[in-house]
Structure 1
Amino acid sequence: MTRAVCSGSFDPVTNGHVDVFERASQMFDELIICVFQNPSKRGFLPIEQRVELLRQSVSHLPNVQVKSFSGLITEFMRKHEAKVIVRGIRSVKDLEYEENEAYMIRHIAPEIDTVFLLTRPDYSYVSSSGIRELFSFNGSIHGLVPECVEQAMIELQQRERK
């Protein structure tokens, strides 16, 4: 059985992320989506809400689970006996960054391989930071994020306006 991990902040999760999860779930027996907790950063959405929104977004994928973690991804992967990390690539810029990360992971844990999945062209411009910026200027994020994420962001905006 091959278990893979896809990690990130997913703040918020986008339809591009979900596309990568769907494709990776077909390639591996199990896929664990790990929401990275960076204690030095305050997220747009709380970590617990990101985990829940991810669970809702991938509920149609029976071999996918969602967890959160803080620390080195290699420690998480060893703990969960995962041998593959999946990374979505939107551009050459992403590839350069992820290639260096993959080399560092390989240095720390030679038993772990990295698989790169190219983002579908229609999602190549979609990023969590872009979604946050668009949303902050009251732009429509419809069709760029799962419906549950869009609704959660609208509710957050409404609470902040009160």
Structure 2
Amino acid sequence: MRRAVCPGSFDPVTHGHIDIVGRAAKLFDEVVVAVGVNASKNRLFTAEERIEMLREACAGMANVTVSSFSGLIVDFCREIDAQAIVKGLRGGNDYEYELPMAQMNSHLTGVETVFVPTTAALGYVSSSLVKEVATFGGDVTGLVPDAVLARLTTRLAERA
């Protein structure tokens, strides 16, 4: 069985994330969406909330599960016997950022990284940009799943 991991913070999950996960699910027998847990990072949503949102968003993908990890992604890959890490690339800057990590991960464990380019229509979407636009009252409908939009709107209202 070929198992891949799609790691990220997913704060919040976007349609760009779901697109990459769905495409990875067509390439691998099993895909584990791995939510990074780092207590030193200030996130809008807790790890549990991000996991729940991802489970809802990926519910229609039979070979996709959602989990969490802390520490090195390659250690998590070893734990679950994953052969690959799947990362979405929006453009050259993402590639420049991701390539050294992919090379280090391969060096450490032999786990390969598969880069999947984002769908052109979602190339500009990022969690950071979604949060920023939504914080200032911009409409992010269509950039995140409906259930995520509801949670995002509620959370930002709580913080305002």
Which TM bucket (shorter chain)? over 0.9
Following superposition of structure 1 onto structure 2, how do residues 1-162 of structure 1 map, counting pairs within 5 Å? 1-110=1-110, 112-161=111-160
What SS does the aligned partner of 2:32 have? strand
Q: How far apart are residue 89 of structure 1 and its match?
A: 0.3
Unaligned stretches of 5+ residues in structure 2: none
Unaligned stretches of 5+ residues in structure 1: none
CA offsets 1:90-148 (integer angstroms, 9 cap, x no match): 000001111111011011112x1110000011100000000010011011110000111
Give, in whole Å, the separation in 1 of the partners of 2:17 and 2:103.
22
Q: How many residues align?
A: 160
Q: How far apart are residue 39 of structure 1 and its match?
A: 1.7
Give, in whole Å, the separation in 2 of the partners of 1:27 and 1:106.
19
- Quote the sequence identity (%): 43
What SS does the aligned partner of 1:140 have? coil
What RMSD in Å do the two structures reach over aligned CA positions? 0.9
Give, in whole Å, the separation in 1 of the partners of 2:23 and 2:52.
21
Q: How far apart are residue 158 of structure 1 and its match?
A: 3.5
TM-score, with length taken from structure 1: 0.96
What SS does the aligned partner of 1:50 have? helix
Q: How far apart are residue 38 of structure 1 and its match?
A: 1.4
TM-score, with length taken from structure 2: 0.97
